[in-house]
């Protein structure tokens, strides 16, 4: 690169005065930046100070997007449309600046073409800007390069930056980098807190989607304990006719927001469709079709749907890949319904079956794998056999209290929950 020197040597006295001015500027920058944790304000303030001191025509700040491995322009003064472009980390002066970790000066872009000429001319064409001279300093904070400050054209007749400009930008970039890093971290913290609040709201909304049983004479009760704030499990039950009760229990694959959103969709669909469709197989077929059309790739829902007719002492069940429900009779013997099709969302071509069985003097427990996979302090899972012990212990307690006591006992035993936990019990009406 060509090195350009001032035609007139700077007098020692004036040079010392300029150094003092620059030190005062750096001090003021540090003070101003310390007062602002707003990322946008910090970026624009940095650019205004730097443009004014260097007497530059334009300046911009590119930060490194670690995921994309690209430069992204997040602040610009006097050069338009840069936010529309992503640049490779190896490109042009910016690439050299972060590789060499020092401020780079190109004295005259029109003469010193080398390997950067195409990059600049192309960008000039896109932004309708003519570049003559470039200063580019890496932004280094805590030994991490987070981006670059990019200055274009000195406001002189020659439009060329000089070596003293390069040294000054290198000095000014240090407090700017620290301020930008601090503001970025503050923004990330604010965004994280906001997201957490939103997640908590989602969790509260989810709770309102779950059915409640405040009447110990109602034959169905349920409980849901999320592993985190939001849950990928849901259950619903209601009386759909005189002495006829519908219920559904589901478990969405995965954890987190994605799972909770799919859960909310499946729950809403079930609540809506179950009011008019009294065939468990038809209901599962419709739910499966909807979820196959809209669920993200690799996501699915296990679900068991049932209708209990207390008049006929009869259960109607359809199972889409869900845990087989347990039935305990009055002698405390267990059995289960093992027949099941694949989970919802796997294939739209499946047709789910319907099983009808007699149901009297018994209770049925529908649950998600969060209960059987709960672990004791030594790491052993509760499994179905362990769950059966708790069922037997509290079987004669009213159902709206039974499940709560069961969970409290499990917690007291030091069990460690890793997944969302849901249990629904259906008691035959005497």
Judge whether residue 21 has pLDDT over 60.
no
Give residue 114's pLDDT: 53
Could you tell me the maximum CA-CA distance found in the chain, to the nearest angstrom? 106
The residue from 186, 210, 244 where one domain ends is: 186
Q: What domain range is 162 assigned to?
A: 12-186
308 contacts 315 by C-beta, under 8 angstroms: yes
Our CA dihedral for 44, 49, 52, 58, rounded to 10 degrees, sits at: -30
Task: Let me know whether 336 and 267 are in one domain.
Answer: yes
Coil, strand or helix at 5: coil
Predicted confidence band at 4 (pLDDT cuts at 50, 70, 90)? Answer: very low
Judge whether residue 16 has pLDDT over 60.
no
Task: Let me know whether 129 and 278 are in one domain.
Answer: no
Collect all residues with Cβ–Cβ distance below 8 Å to 20 and sequence separation of at least 6: none
Q: Which of 13-22, 317-326, 393-402, 420-429 shows the lowest per-residue confidence on average (mean pLDDT)?
A: 13-22
Residue 162 in any domain: the answer is yes
Residue 104 in any domain: the answer is yes
Residue 192 in any domain: the answer is no
Collect all residues with Cβ–Cβ distance below 8 Å to 282 and sequence separation of at least 6: none
Task: Let me know whether 150 and 204 are in one domain.
Answer: no
Task: Let me know whether 264 and 306 are in one domain.
Answer: yes
Q: Pick the closest to residue 210 from 192, 230, 193, 227 (CA basis).
A: 230
Task: Let me know whether 25 and 172 are in one domain.
Answer: yes
Task: Let me know whether 106 and 212 are in one domain.
Answer: no
The residue from 153, 186, 219 where one domain ends is: 186
Judge whether residue 3 has pLDDT over 50.
no
Alpha helices in 74-220 (DSSP H): 92-100, 117-127, 163-209
Predicted confidence band at 205 (pLDDT cuts at 50, 70, 90)? Answer: low
Task: Let me know whether 321 and 230 are in one domain.
Answer: yes
According to DSSP, the β-strands at 334-336 and 362-367 are unpaired
Residue 350 in any domain: the answer is yes
According to DSSP, the β-strands at 70-77 and 86-88 are antiparallel
- pTM greater than 0.75: no
Residue 5 in any domain: the answer is no
Predicted confidence band at 44 (pLDDT cuts at 50, 70, 90)? Answer: confident
Judge whether residue 74 has pLDDT over 90.
no
pLDDT in tens, 356-396: 999 999 999 999 998 999 998 888 999 999 999 999 999 99
Judge whether residue 18 has pLDDT over 70.
no
The residue from 131, 153, 186 where one domain ends is: 186
Residue 410 in any domain: the answer is yes
pLDDT in tens, 258-299: 777 788 888 888 988 988 899 999 999 999 998 988 777 778
Judge whether residue 115 has pLDDT over 50.
no
Coil, strand or helix at 251: strand
pLDDT in tens, 302-320: 999 999 999 999 999 999 9
Task: Let me know whether 144 and 291 are in one domain.
Answer: no
Segment 116-142 mean pLDDT: 77
Here the CATH number for the domain that contains residue 102 is: 3.30.450.40
Task: Let me know whether 278 and 352 are in one domain.
Answer: yes
Here the CATH number for the domain that contains residue 317 is: 3.60.40.10
Residue 29 in any domain: the answer is yes
Predicted confidence band at 5 (pLDDT cuts at 50, 70, 90)? Answer: very low
402 contacts 363 by C-beta, under 8 angstroms: no
Task: Let me know whether 206 and 354 are in one domain.
Answer: yes
β-bridge partners, 313? none
Task: Let me know whether 226 and 345 are in one domain.
Answer: yes
Residue 194 in any domain: the answer is no
Predicted confidence band at 2 (pLDDT cuts at 50, 70, 90)? Answer: very low
279: left (phi over 0), alpha (psi -120 to 50) or beta: beta
Number of domains the chain is built from: 2
Task: Let me know whether 178 and 204 are in one domain.
Answer: no
């Amino acid at each position: 690169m060509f090195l350009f020197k001032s035609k007139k040597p700077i007098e020692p006295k004036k040079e010392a005065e300029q150094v003092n001015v620059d030190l005062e500027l750096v001090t003021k920058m540090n003070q101003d930046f310390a007062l602002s944790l707003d990322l946008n304000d910090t970026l624009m303030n940095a650019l205004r100070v730097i443009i004014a001191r260097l007497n530059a025509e334009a300046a911009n700040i590119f930060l490194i997007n670690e995921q994309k491995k690209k430069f992204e322009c997040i602040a610009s003064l006097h050069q338009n449309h840069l936010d529309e472009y992503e640049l490779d980390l190896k490109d042009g002066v910016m690439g050299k600046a972060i590789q060499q970790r020092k401020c780079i000066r190109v004295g005259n872009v029109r003469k010193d073409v080398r390997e950067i000429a195409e990059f600049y001319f192309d960008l000039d064409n896109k932004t309708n800007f003519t570049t003559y001279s470039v200063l580019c300093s890496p932004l280094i904070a805590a030994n991490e390069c987070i981006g670059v400050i990019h200055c274009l054209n000195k406001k002189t007749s020659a439009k060329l930056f000089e070596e003293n400009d390069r040294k000054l930008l290198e000095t000014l970039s240090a407090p700017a980098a620290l301020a930008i890093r601090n503001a970025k971290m503050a923004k990330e913290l604010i965004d994280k807190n906001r997201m957490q609040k939103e997640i908590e709201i989602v969790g509260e909304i989810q709770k309102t989607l779950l059915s409640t049983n405040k009447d110990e004479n109602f034959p169905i009760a349920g409980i849901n304990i999320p592993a985190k704030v939001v849950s990928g499990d849901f259950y619903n039950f209601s009386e759909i006719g005189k002495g006829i009760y519908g219920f559904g229990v589901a478990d969405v694959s995965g954890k987190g927001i994605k799972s909770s959103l799919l859960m909310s969709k499946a729950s809403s669909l079930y609540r809506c469709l179950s009011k008019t469709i009294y065939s468990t197989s038809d209901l599962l077929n419709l739910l499966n079709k909807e979820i196959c059309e809209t669920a993200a790739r690799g996501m699915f829902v296990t679900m068991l749907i049932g209708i209990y007719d207390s008049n006929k002492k009869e259960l109607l069940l359809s199972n889409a890949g869900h845990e087989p429900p347990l039935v305990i009779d009055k002698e405390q013997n267990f059995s289960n319904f093992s027949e099941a099709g694949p989970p919802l969302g796997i294939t739209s071509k499946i047709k789910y079956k319907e099983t009808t069985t007699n149901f009297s003097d018994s209770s049925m427990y529908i649950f998600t794998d969060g209960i059987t996979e709960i672990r004791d302090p030594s790491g052993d899972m509760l499994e179905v056999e362990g769950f059966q012990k708790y069922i037997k212990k509290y079987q004669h307690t009213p159902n709206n209290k039974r499940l709560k006591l069961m969970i409290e006992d499990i917690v007291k035993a030091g069990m460690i929950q890793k997944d969302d936990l849901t249990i629904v019990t259906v008691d035959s009406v005497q």
